[in-house]
Structure 1
Amino acid sequence: MTVAVVSLKYESARTGRQTLVYDADGYHLVRFPYEADEESYDPWGMHDPAGGGGSSTYPDARSGLIWPSHDGWGTLSALVFWGPDDRATEYRARFVRDPLNVAGGYDSTATTDISPTGGGQYRSYTWQMFVHPGTPVGLKVSARSGGSLVKPPITLAEFKLAIQTDVITP
């Protein structure tokens, strides 16, 4: 099996606090630095500041995009650690094809909604779908309280895509 992989990491202790900017859909596109650390991995150039023919500088919105290098079956996975916020009554996440509408249209999938636990708010997410070069994917998150958006800090986020490039057809 041939697999192309990208693994991104944001850590507030290294790159500073990420200000949540909620888009019209009520979600924040999580941004990831372009400078690799020991846990980031991008040999296929799927998190390139010039991805999709654009131009980007972290922490602009385009720094939240992964541009798949191949057509194939993609396994998306993410990890989000939220900082404390006593107001938040739910945390949401979703994977989105074309979250900035630069390649034909926003298409969200795998929206997850969960109530806070008594301890820290640490969440992991996984979804599988077909991915294509030219159509970026992103991780969007939201925290809410009684319908209102709140902005607890994200202290750690990881976003990964593994593309199986040898999907067979019958």
Structure 2
Amino acid sequence: MSVAICSLKWESARTGPQRIAYDRDGYHLVRFPYAEQEEAYDPWKMHDPAHGGAKASKFPDARSGLIWPSHDGWGTLSALVFWEPDGRPTEYRARFVRDPLGLSTGYDSTATTDTEPTRGGQYRSYVWQMFVHPGTPVGLKISARGPGDAKLAAPLLLAEFKLAIQTDVIRPEGDSGGHQGP
């Protein structure tokens, strides 16, 4: 089985705090630096600043939150998010989104997860699988919400976002795969 991988990591200890800015959908697109970092891996250039615009993206602009799949295939998306425990949020949300900036096929969220705070640190991991395609970027969006559904700027400590694409998905003879398949 062939697998193409992109693994991104952002840490507040290395780059400073990430300003949380909520989009119209009430979520923040997590941004990732372009420079090579520990645990970052991108030999297929899926997180290349040249993708998605006339000029190169620069961290922390919105395009630095995108992974552009290098192949058609079955994608396993995974994420890790550490929030600073500050006691204000009453729930934490995350979702994976196809084309979160509306640059190609249009915003399409999937796998929204909603959790309440724990007594200790606020550490979350997420996994989702779906078909992915070159030309349709994917992103990780998060939200911290307080009483009355108020969106809070709860600080992030760490975020990781990974895409593994199985490039050799097979189909039964005669199956066209529909519009979502490879």
Q: TM-score range by the shorter chain?
A: over 0.9
The one-letter code matched in structure 2 to 1:150 is L
The one-letter code matched in structure 1 to 2:163 is L
Where do 1:10-159 residues align within 5 Å? 10-54=10-54, 55-146=56-147, 147-159=149-161
Q: Secondary structure at the match of 1:91?
A: strand
Question: Could you tell which deviates more after superposition, 50-59 or 101-110?
Answer: 50-59
Q: Which aligned segments of 4 or more residues in structure 1 are displaced greater than 3 angstroms?
A: none
Q: Among all aligned residue pairs of Structure 1 and Structure 2, give the percentage whose two residues are the same amino acid.
A: 75
CA distance in 1, matches of 2:65, 2:53: 15
Alpha-carbon distance, 1:53 to partner: 4.5
CA distance in 2, matches of 1:23, 1:50: 23
Question: Could you tell which deviates more after superposition, 50-59 or 5-14?
Answer: 50-59
CA distance in 2, matches of 1:60, 1:52: 12
Q: 2:163 aligns with which of 139, 161, 164?
A: 161
Q: Which residue of 1 aligns with 2:177?
A: none
Superposed CA offset, 1:72-129 (max 9, x none): 0000000000012211000000000000000020000000000000000000000000
CA distance in 2, matches of 1:128, 1:68: 13
Q: Which residue of 2 aligns with 1:8?
A: 8
Taking structure 2 as the reference length, the TM-score comes to 0.92
Superposed CA offset, 1:22-54 (max 9, x none): 000000000000001121000000000011344
CA RMSD, 1 decimal = 0.7
Taking structure 1 as the reference length, the TM-score comes to 0.98
Larger-gyration structure (1/2):
2
Q: Secondary structure at the match of 1:14?
A: helix
The answer for unaligned runs of 5 or more in structure 1 is none
CA distance in 2, matches of 1:37, 1:101: 28
Conserved 8 A contact 2:74-2:169: yes
Q: Secondary structure at the match of 1:51?
A: coil
Equivalent residues, number = 170
